[in-house]
């Protein structure tokens, strides 16, 4: 039976729904829109190594999320972990910068799903202009907001239904790939594919694209106060979703480039449709295109669900604008946060896909992923008696390797994306200082240390 928390949120998400939520976010448009990009970036089917290394980085980072999420299950995920770890030296600066960065990064990643969905709709609407494609993506965003405007139990049930459609999609693609796989097509490497100067330069860009495909394995961490038995459910959902999606992604990607020559695939706007057209003709292409659209929508739905909880939790803590702290009076979900994040997502739908991916990865890495790795170590030292239902395996090795991996991906995102991330972070520091000055917070007032989860592990 669902449990209602003191602050009004309901624990209604079990392991199945939690895993489905993660996988739906991970298995959205990603594999179906990034195959041409990663093939172009790495210059051939050696892109498979980018997928493999990306999966390893996701698992290493997933162990960071698993320990933090099981120890501090609350709405906001990263925000909570950074708040608890960095309060000792920099007050509320780091969690503020995280919320500041997510105002752009999170809607960016969700907008890629809307863009991918609209690109596949071109199969049914060939005369669609570029502007109409963007407007369709905005329309899909509005529909998503409407469907999320309800109680969490209803949302969780719909997530499971959408997840079922996603599984059907990938099963069909994998079956088609296995039955029509040609090794000589899949492994037709160009003669200089593994030249060190080319391979390792391309590997960084390949990892950036592949880790984007895995983004979402942590979505349930943003819903910690709505998860049943979070100490066990959260780490299991994170690890299971990474394992399942890694197997699915590699199988699909190999199946597609083992059927569609990589020189052709890298130029295709909707490679999933092209692949099925070659395998099962127009009927197969029609069915798979519809299912890919379904899968993209599942990603949007779960992504916006998790994102809407971030400004809400910060506002509850007094670190963001007060209206974001409001729950819907009847349905008990953060409706103001949902609407604002949805509007920003709609605006992002008007930008170029590759630029969005590079920018969102650079912005996410600066504060979130590297910040969390540091947070885990800080909390191990500052709060050694914190209840940890899950402890990172082989600590600190996964943290060290994940830090190196994220630094490599950040460098590979390119100077325009790095510059945007740095400029936005500096702007966030300036905004924080203005906010802190008005509120008399650190550095203009005393630091307030509140070890919330050390004393409350309910």
Mean pLDDT value across residues 433-455: 89
d(CA 169, CA 255): 14
Q: Strand, coil or helix: what is 414?
A: coil
- Which residues in 422-436 are b (16+ Cβ under 10 Å) and which e? eebbeebeeebeeeb
Cβ-proximal residues to 355 (8 Å cutoff; 6+ apart), any chain: 416, 417
The DSSP result for 94-142, as a single string, is: HHHHHHHHHHHHHHHHHHHHHHHHHHHHTTT-TT--HHHHHHHHHHHHH
Q: Whole-number mean pLDDT of the chain?
A: 88
Predicted confidence (pLDDT) at residue 345 exceeds the cutoff of 60: yes
d(CA 361, CA 105): 8
> If one looks up domain 13-446 in CATH, what number appears?
1.20.1740.10
What's the pLDDT tens digit per position in 212-230?
889 889 989 988 888 999 9
For the chain, counts of helices (H) and of strands (E): 19, 2
What percent of the chain has a predicted confidence (pLDDT) above 70?
95
pLDDT at res. 153: 58
What's the pLDDT tens digit per position in 401-439?
999 999 999 998 989 999 999 999 999 999 999 989 988
pLDDT at res. 458: 41
The pLDDT-based confidence of 33 (bands split at 50, 70, 90) is confident
Mean pLDDT value across residues 158-168: 76
Question: Rounded to two decimals, what is the model's pTM?
Answer: 0.84
pLDDT at res. 457: 44
pLDDT at res. 5: 45
What's the pLDDT tens digit per position in 251-308?
999 999 999 999 999 988 789 999 999 999 999 899 988 988 888 887 787 778 777 7
Mean pLDDT value across residues 188-212: 90
pLDDT at res. 294: 85
Higher pLDDT, 382 or 317: 382
């Amino acid at each position: 039976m669902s449990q209602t928390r003191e602050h009004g949120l309901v624990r209604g998400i079990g392991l199945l729904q939690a895993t489905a939520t993660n996988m739906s976010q991970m298995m959205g448009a990603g594999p179906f829109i990034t195959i041409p990009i990663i093939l172009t970036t790495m210059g051939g089917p050696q892109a498979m190594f980018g997928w493999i290394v990306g999966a390893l980085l996701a698992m290493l980072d997933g162990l960071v999320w698993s320990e933090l999420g099981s120890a501090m299950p609350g709405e906001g995920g990263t925000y909570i972990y950074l708040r608890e770890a960095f309060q000792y030296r920099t007050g509320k600066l780091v969690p503020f910068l995280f919320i500041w960065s997510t105002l752009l990064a999170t809607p960016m990643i969700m907008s890629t799903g809307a863009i991918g969905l609209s690109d596949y709709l071109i199969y049914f609407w060939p005369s669609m202009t570029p502007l109409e494609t963007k407007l369709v993506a905005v329309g899909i965003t509005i529909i998503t907001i409407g469907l999320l405007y309800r109680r969490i139990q209803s949302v969780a049930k719909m997530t499971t239904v959408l997840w079922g459609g996603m599984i059907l999609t990938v099963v069909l693609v994998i079956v088609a790939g296995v039955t029509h796989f040609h090794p000589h097509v899949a492994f037709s490497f160009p003669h200089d594919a593994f030249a060190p100067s080319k391979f390792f330069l391309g590997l960084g860009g390949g990892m950036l694209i592949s880790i984007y495909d895995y983004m979402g394995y942590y979505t349930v961490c943003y819903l910690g106060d709505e998860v049943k038995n979070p100490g066990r459910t959260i780490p299991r959902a994170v690890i299971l979703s990474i394992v399942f999606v890694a197997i699915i992604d590699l199988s699909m990607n190999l199946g597609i480039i083992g059927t569609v020559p990589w020189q052709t695939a890298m130029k295709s706007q909707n490679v999933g449709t092209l692949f099925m057209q070659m395998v099962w003709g127009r009927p197969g292409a029609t069915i798979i295109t519809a299912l890919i659209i379904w899968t993209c929508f599942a990603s949007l739905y779960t992504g916006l669900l998790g994102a809407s909880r971030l400004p809400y939790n910060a506002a509850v803590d007094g670190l963001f604008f007060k209206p974001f702290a409001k729950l819907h009076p009847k349905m008990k979900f953060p409706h103001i946060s949902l609407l604002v994040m949805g509007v920003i997502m709609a605006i992002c739908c008007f930008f170029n896909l590759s630029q969005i991916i590079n920018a969102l990865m650079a912005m996410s890495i600066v504060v979130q992923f590297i910040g969390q790795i540091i947070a885990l170590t800080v909390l191990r030292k500052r709060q050694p008696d914190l209840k940890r239902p899950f402890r990172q395996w082989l600590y600190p090795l996964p943290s060290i390797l994940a830090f190196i991996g994220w630094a490599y991906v950040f460098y590979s995102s390119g100077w325009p994306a790095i510059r945007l991330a740095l400029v936005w972070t500096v702007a966030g520091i300036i905004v924080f200082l203005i906010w802190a000055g008005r509120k008399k917070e650190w550095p203009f007032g005393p630091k307030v240390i509140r070890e919330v989860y050390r004393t409350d592990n309910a």
